[in-house]
Structure 1
């Protein structure tokens, strides 16, 4: 967990008002259900960024729907998606994102060596051309921008749609990392 006391209430299902409960039910029964990591703890408290979503159900619902679209309805392959998410996690030192998405990364075929390279700040060797384009674009986005040369080299490999979806993915997972850091709900990296 980040330094300092927890700033986010640990809301159990019985603590929720009707608007929060609707959002909670949507998260735990939606496409994330049965994934590679537990959404709730033994008391039913939402884990990672999801508990924070309950602080403002209208905003939290928009975020969780965006996250579901990024995870389940883009043109990014599972390996490309998890590669990018793990690069974001490494950049932001987000233990929760690393924990959750290494579990998911294993399911979609990322190797332990690939995930170790990412966590160590490197792009793994032996990536397919589209995966390499995702990794290079993600690192540039995390540094603040993509120069014209890199864009011209990577986007034809991916297509404009996939490049845009990647851009939104990097922004979304960076938002979650910031949320967990500020609310002190992130796991140690």
Structure 2
């Protein structure tokens, strides 16, 4: 498949694109890549999206380890190879066991999760598959993470769903990765 909205040469950026790209370059990401390549066509949307993503990825109330787990579940739900290629290695680096990552890739419920990982996994799966969360799973998440954590967990699922939609539509090409691609 051909990348529908591939990179724009920096010399061809408009002033608004240049400003939006510079905000990403100056932030923790350090470069315009992945979903921000197609989003550059809408610089204002890209600016708001990157700010939300910066909070959710680096400072959410559930912490980086569990945020990465939620990102993997969302990437798997959307068959999103770019997000998987980027975040599976990060998830491993921040403590998500390889067996958990592999099970998610295979669309299986991991057997050896910690309690907080199981709560995040189940919350994400229910939200994606049922379009809602059961009272039991909600109560478990609330007890562990509080209201802000639950809202941030919903935000992670929504934000990475948005990015998956962008990249799946744009056919963004996955970067080289230590992670194996998601199976069909």
Moved over 6 A (4+): none
Give 1:9 deviation, angstroms. Answer: 4.2
- Whether 1:125 and 2:122 are equivalent positions in the alignment is no
TM-score (norm: length of structure 1): 0.86
| Alignment gaps of 5+ in structure 2 | 175-180
- Whether 1:100 and 2:97 are equivalent positions in the alignment is no
Give the one of 76, 93, 107 matched to 1:90.
76
The answer to whether the Cα contact below 8 Å between 2:56 and 2:152 also exists between their aligned partners in 1 is yes
* CA distance in 1 between partners of 2:136 and 2:122 (Å): 12
Give the one of 129, 151, 160 matched to 2:138.
151
* CA distance in 2 between partners of 1:47 and 1:71 (Å): 15
- Whether 1:10 and 2:10 are equivalent positions in the alignment is no
Specify the alignment match of 1:21 in structure 2. 18
The answer to whether the Cα contact below 8 Å between 2:100 and 2:112 also exists between their aligned partners in 1 is no
RMSD of aligned residue pairs (Cα, Å) = 1.6
Equivalences for 1:163-174 in 2 at 5 Å? 163-174=150-161
The answer to whether the Cα contact below 8 Å between 1:89 and 1:98 also exists between their aligned partners in 2 is yes
SS at match of 1:159: helix
* CA distance in 1 between partners of 2:94 and 2:109 (Å): 17
| Alignment gaps of 5+ in structure 1 | 34-38, 40-45
